[in-house]
Amino acid sequence: MISYEDFTKVDIRVGTIVNTEAFPEACKPALKLFIDFGPVIGMKKTSAQITHLYQKEDLIGRQVLAVVNFPPKQVGSFMSEVLVLGLSNEKNEIVLVGPEMMVPNGQKLH
């Protein structure tokens, strides 16, 4: 078990995907996501293995939740700065997690 204090150390914020790019050199099919987390955190980038359910052009303007306080991680030739959150469906495909309604970018999950 973790304590509530442990949970509060994980900084989960909402951001809006403003750009996407193919990531053909990734080991598994993936997209590069460029996400606006508002004026305090700013723009961050990540890669996500979501090509089974999402087309890159359909993601623009979508809000997602991400952990923003992990250290950057090298993914092939790309430096991932945040961890976008998702859940696996019955086919083990990733479904992105986001708010039901639009909220200001940078809002912290409570």
DSSP single-letter state for residue 61: T
Asked if residues 44 and 24 have their Cβ atoms less than 8 Å apart, the reply is no
User: Do the domain assignments include residue 11?
Assistant: yes
pLDDT of residue 110: 87
- Domain of 85, in residue numbers: 4-96
**What is the count of structural domains for the chain?**
1
pLDDT of residue 76: 87
What is the pLDDT of the chain when averaged over all its residues?
Answer: 96
CATH of residue 38's domain is 2.40.50.140
The stretch 24-49 carries a mean pLDDT of 96
User: Do the domain assignments include residue 34?
Assistant: yes
Residue 92 backbone zone (phi > 0: left; psi -120 to 50: alpha; other: beta): left
pLDDT digits (tens, 9 = 90+) for 47-90: 999 999 999 999 999 999 999 999 999 998 899 999 999 999 99
Cβ atoms within 10 Å, residue 59: 20
User: Do the domain assignments include residue 108?
Assistant: no
User: Do the domain assignments include residue 31?
Assistant: yes
User: Do the domain assignments include residue 66?
Assistant: yes
